[in-house]
Each structure stands twice: as C-alpha cells, then as structure tokens.
Amino acid sequence: MVNRFKSLYDAQGFLTGVPIIKPSEALAHRSILEAVEAERGPMHYQFKAHTAMHSTYQLAILPKILNIVEQLIGPDILLYSAAYIVKEANTKSHVSWHQDLTYWGLDSAAQVSVWLALSDASEASGCMHMIPGSHKHGQQKHHNTQDNNNVLLSGQTINDIDPNQSIAASLKAGQASFHHGWTIHCSQPNLTNDRRIGLNIQYISPAVKQLKQRQDSAMLVRGVDHYGHFQTDQPAQSNFDSKAWQKQKALDDKLKGIQGNTT
C-alpha cells in the first residue's frame, strides 16, 4: 500500500482521504485544542504549535504519518512546523490558488505538507482543491493581493487557474491529505454550521537549507540529521505550560517573518 501511495503522490502531487486516527480520537484532540483556545484565544495559523501543545506534538509524530512521509522524502525527517488552520462556521475566509514553498526560503522541494482533519472537511466547509500534476512544473508566478478574507500572509495568488482541472481533497475527521510543496491548491469559504479544523504539519529532509536567515529551526522526528542546518525545537510536555507558550510565540513570529517576506 505504501508503494501505491508513493506512485500516486509522484504522479499527481498529493494523496487524500488517508485514514490516520479514529473519528473519536480526532474529536478528543479537537476538544484539547478548543480548551487551549478558551484560555489563550484563537489558534488559527499559530506556527510551531507542537512546541507548546503536547496534543499537537503527539499527532505530528504518529507512526502512520511518518511511515508515509518517509516514503515521500526519505528516512531522515525533520518536523518543521505544525499549525491549526481553522475556518469558522459561515465565514468568508478562503485560500487562493498558491504553492506552499513560494516564500518559505527553502533551497529544495524535499518537503511534504500533511493536513490532518479534526473535523470533517467537505466541499461545503471549504476543503482543499488540488491541481493534479501541477507539482511537476516547478514554481509559478504569484501575485500579491489585497483581500482581507484571504488567509495567506501576503494574499499570494496564481492567476488564470482553471478550477475545473482540480480535485476536491475532502476529508472525514481523522483522515489526512499529503501534498507536495509545488502542488497548486486552494480552498473556498466554510458555508456550514461547524468549524472546519485541520492540523497542517510540515516535514522536511535534513538536507534542506533555509536561505532567508540562519536562525530557522526544526525537530528531528525520525532517522538522523547529518547536516545540522537548523536549530533544534523542543517538543511540548503539556498543553498549558506558560513558558513553552512564550517560546512558541517567538518561534511563530520568526517563521511568519520568513514566510511573510516576499522579497
């Protein structure tokens, strides 16, 4: 089955509907997230959440996920970031057509994005849409836009994409999608009465370098790091450690500075 995953990923640039955890487990992790939000405020797009939330860290190191990631980028795996992406019920938030790696400053595409659903992600609730095979054409021209409803940091958009060529990556709670950093994708607003909650986890090979600055960080979660290109993030030991949250805020600011810098 894993070989089938690798073949499909190479061909179309993504996998979707991969079962990872039970719906009841997804609900339990959602409940932890919402308890943290009740205390700390919205967790939407807070990078490096695994350094402050043990629940996030537990999900990011699941063997079912890492086994597939290993087939896609190799046996040595760094956990680069984990962030919850939340579309509130009946809101206009959306994500324009884009490629993840555009402004990340990484020197290689040895990276994979995992999107683990903690609630159902249907077409009505704004699941991702992917353009099959688009990863084979490398980086495309992005244009910055002024759209307050666009979740992306710079509103970056690829123009002239035919949505009829896309595939909806709908997910049930507990399922995940995996996509390549150059796969063109987007998502529409959530028109349902429930929150659309996903955990977006980024993995990279230790061979990858950060070109925008020297202070970027990651965490070895499988294999060996023979390169030492990144400083070392520390995993969260609980969900409510105030010191860990202070460190996470600094890491979040740093990563947003890298990814928000479009020069």
Each residue's pLDDT tens digit, 145-182: 666 777 665 557 777 788 889 999 999 999 999 999 99
Measured between alpha carbons, how far apart are the two ends of the chain, in Å?
41
pLDDT at residue 142 tops 90: no
pLDDT at 158: 77
Each residue's pLDDT tens digit, 183-204: 999 899 999 999 999 999 999 9
pLDDT at 178: 98
In whole numbers, what is the pLDDT of the chain averaged over residues? 92
d(CA 180, CA 138) in angstroms, rounded, equals 11
Structure tokens at 123: 């077409």
The set of residues, in sequence order, having a beta carbon less than 8 Å from that of 90 and lying 6+ positions away, is: 190, 191, 192, 193
* Coil, strand or helix at 254: helix
pLDDT at 81: 98
pLDDT at 262: 47
| Mean pLDDT, range 253-262, rounded to an integer | 81
pLDDT at 138: 73
Each residue's pLDDT tens digit, 37-80: 999 999 999 999 999 999 999 999 999 999 999 999 999 999 99
pLDDT at residue 261 tops 60: no
